[in-house]
Every structure is written in C-alpha cells, then in structure tokens.
C-alpha cells in the first residue's frame, strides 16, 4: 500500500485506548480551557484521524508563514496550508503549559483535545494579509474562505495535541465518517492496490458518476473512494445528510458491488481552490489512495480561480517527489446529445453549446423547488427524487 505522507507509518493523534482516553478527559476537566473555532475543531479531528500525518499538532507563526509562502514547514516538510488553532482572546490560558480545547460545534462545548502549549503568538496585519493572499489568492472579504479565515482571531496557539473526540461527526454520520486509518484498513481488506479518490461537497450527478467510472477504467484501478466533506459549508450548499443519501443511492443502483467505498471526513470547507486541492491530495495519500481526481474548479467558489488552476498547481508549484499520490486531471464532464453519453468536454471539439445537457446550479434548485423532474441525462431519477424531497420540504435552506 502507498505510504502515508511524510512517514513510513500513519500517526493518528486520537487516543484510541478507552481507559487512557477517559483518564485524559478527567484530567482535562482541571486544565485551563478555551472554546476553539470551528476551523480549529475540524483541524483537530483531521489530526486525530491521521489525515494530517505527519503533523503532531497546531503550527506556530514561523511554520504558518513558511507554509503559506513556500508550501513547506521550517524543517522542510511539504504542506500546502497552515494548520492552526487561532483565537480572538488567549488571556484565559496565559502561562498555561497544557490546555483543554473545547468544541464549538457540540452543545455544552465538550472537550475535543488536550494541547501542550509551546507558544502563544500574535499574527501581525501583514502576516494575515500574506497568508490570506497565498492560501486563497484573494483578499476579497466576500470570499467565504477569506471571511472565515480572518474572523477567528490573531492569537496563534501552537503545540502538539491529543485528540479525545471526533466532535459530532461520529454520532451524526456513523455510516459515513471514517478515519484515515479505518480507510487504509478497509482498502487492505479489499485487496485493492490502486485506488482513485473522488472529493465532493455536492450531491453526485451523472457527470460526477461517469467521471469516477472513467478514472477507474483509465487507471485500471481496483476501487473508488468517494470521500465527502461533512463539516461546515457556505450558505446554500446541500447539507451532508442529503448528499450522503444521494451518493449511497447512486452507488447502490449504478455501480457493481464492492467497487466503491462511500466515506466522509470531518473538516470545514476552505474554498481555497488550488491550495485546497493540494491539501486534498495530501490527506488522500494518508488514507491509502494512489490517485485523486482533480476536475474543473476543484474546491473553488465563484469566479476566484481559473477553471484548471487546481490542476496546474501540481504541475507548476508542487515540487517533484513531494507526494507519492498522482493526480488524474479531468475536464468538465456533461451529457453529449450527439453521442448520447457523458464525456469530457475536451474530447468533443466539434460540439457547440446546444450539443450539451447543461444546467446551472440556480436552474437545478429552481426546478427541484418547483417539483420539476431533472433531465435523466443530468441526474439519475433516484438522486433527483431525494433532492426534490429536500428542496420541497426544507425550501433548500
């Protein structure tokens, strides 16, 4: 199996021994504590799962700036975005050597991790501006990732952590949430050697389904990992439980048994386009995948990134040998009326706009809200039915 990033063996930071974890939770009750941001809680979950191997905790200011500028820590580890625990006010933990980190996303703010405090530093305006530009390629406060990144504070708490909880992900998504080490175990049990990962924060329509099938066939892969984001999204995105139901129904009906793993991970979307695509590659390698599908506007939002910036970053900015995982570059896929099937648009230079079945997200929402069936060339009827129920019952809110 492919090695994890940066080490020979995966190093998940979740305390798996029940007795030890209970003892640490009891100990944590007496520690100075702080309610962390949703982004930091997601980082803690990803560290606990082994997705952020080989990191041992939250980065300090020097590593954060180095990663933002060069995609490397000060010691030279390749890493695409800073992994931070940043707060607005650190006065409650001043001078503490160990602190309890409290979960902002669960009622009562239970303890999610214990952190050993190596430093509490404050980012300057110039440093925040630099990181924002490097990570998101924009300072526009309307960008949801930029807004979130700049709203959580300036005080950077660095140091290793012991993760004691997977937040709400394990309880709310018991069939879907999986750690990197659980996925690696399952890949091994399946006897898969070549595994292609598909990242999604949306329900999967025909084009996504066919893209997974194309990649598996082109790469002669043993299996597909459909890996969906379960954390916080921007307003208007489809909730995780609805996406989960759509994807499960699609796989059940349209894929051969035992060729697809449906899983999810607990992380808040960054909407950072190219840099987030690289992060996706890092943690897919950590869960045992050999390839990642990177399509048009991967991890993007609005018109902040060029359609294929998330592909060219691997060619132009990621140093050779930084990752063992390989990228499967995909074009926009859609149903061709001429050929009567889904294809990549780059493979049909003779097609005009009228030759494709294309629907905007706004048009799809409008049709579902009004109870209109989506074209079967665009969405499987079983998937459309689940989405229609959501939009009519919840108003798509």
| Rounded Cα distance, 41 and 99, in Å | 14
| Residue 117: CB atoms within 10 Å | 21
Strand boundaries in 307-379, DSSP class E: 326-329, 333-336, 341-344, 356-357
Cα–Cα distance for residue pair 100/114, rounded to 1 Å:
5
Single out the catalytic residue among 154, 193, 202, 213. Answer: 202
21, 109, 154, 201: the active-site residue: 201
Longest Cα–Cα distance of the chain, Å, equals 69
Structure tokens at 215: 């990649």
C-alpha closest to that of 198 among 103, 333, 69: 333
- Give yes or no: 202 in active site: yes
Which neighbouring-strand residues pair with 263? 227
Tokens linked to 14? 């979740």
CA distance 301 to 305: 8
Q: What is the CA radius of gyration of the chain?
A: 21
Instruction: Give how far Cα 196 sits from Cα of 44, 47, 318, 346, 352, Å.
Output: 26, 22, 20, 21, 31
Q: Is 133 a catalytic residue?
A: no
- By residue count, the chain amounts to 397
Rounded-to-integer distance, Cα 164 and Cα 317, Å:
36
Angle made by CA atoms 307, 309, 314, in degrees to the nearest 5: 140
Beta strand extents in 103-236 (DSSP E only) = 111-116, 119-122, 155-163, 195-200, 223-229
- The DSSP H or E segment spanning 48 is helix 38-49
Is the CB of residue 271 less than 8 Å from the CB of residue 174? Answer: no
Q: Which residues are catalytic?
A: 201-202
């Amino acid at each position: 199996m492919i090695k994890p990033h940066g080490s020979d063996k995966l190093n998940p930071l979740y305390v798996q021994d029940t007795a030890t974890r209970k003892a640490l939770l009891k100990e944590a009750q007496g520690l100075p504590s702080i309610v962390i941001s949703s982004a930091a809680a997601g980082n803690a979950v990803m560290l606990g799962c082994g997705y952020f191997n080989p990191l041992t905790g939250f980065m300090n200011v020097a590593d954060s700036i180095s990663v933002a500028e060069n995609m490397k820590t000060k010691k030279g580890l390749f890493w695409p975005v800073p992994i931070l625990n940043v707060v607005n006010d650190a006065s409650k933990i001043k001078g503490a050597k160990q602190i309890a980190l409290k979960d902002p996303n669960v009622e009562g703010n239970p303890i999610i991790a214990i952190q050993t405090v190596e430093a509490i530093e404050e980012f300057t305006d110039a440093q925040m501006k630099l990181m924002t530009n490097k990570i998101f390629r924009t300072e526009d406060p309307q960008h949801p990732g930029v807004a979130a990144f700049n709203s959580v504070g300036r005080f950077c708490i660095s140091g290793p952590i012991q993760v004691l909880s997977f937040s709400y992900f394990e309880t709310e998504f018991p069939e879907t949430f999986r750690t990197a080490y659980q996925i690696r175990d399952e890949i091994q049990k399946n006897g898969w050697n070549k595994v292609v990962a598909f990242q999604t924060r949306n329900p999967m329509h025909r084009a996504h389904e066919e893209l997974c099938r194309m990649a598996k066939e082109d790469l002669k892969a043993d299996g597909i990992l459909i890996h969906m984001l379960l954390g916080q999204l921007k307003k208007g995105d489809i909730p995780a439980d609805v996406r989960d139901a759509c994807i499960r129904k699609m796989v059940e009906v349209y894929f051969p048994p035992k060729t697809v793993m449906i899983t999810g991970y607990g992380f808040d979307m960054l909407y950072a386009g190219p840099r987030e695509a690289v992060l996706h590659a890092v943690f897919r390698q950590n869960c045992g995948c050999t390839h990642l599908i990177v399509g048009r506007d991967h991890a993007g939002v609005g018109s902040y990134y060029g359609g294929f910036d998330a592909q060219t970053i691997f060619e132009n900015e990621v140093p050779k040998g930084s990752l063992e995982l390989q990228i499967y570059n995909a074009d926009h896929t859609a149903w061709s009326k001429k050929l009567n099937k889904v294809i990549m648009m780059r493979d049909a230079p003779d097609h005009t706009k009228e030759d494709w079945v294309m629907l905007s997200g706004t048009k799809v929402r409008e049709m579902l809200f009004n109870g209109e069936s989506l074209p079967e060339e665009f969405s499987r009827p079983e998937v459309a039915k689940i989405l229609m129920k959501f939009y009519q019952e919840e108003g798509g809110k």
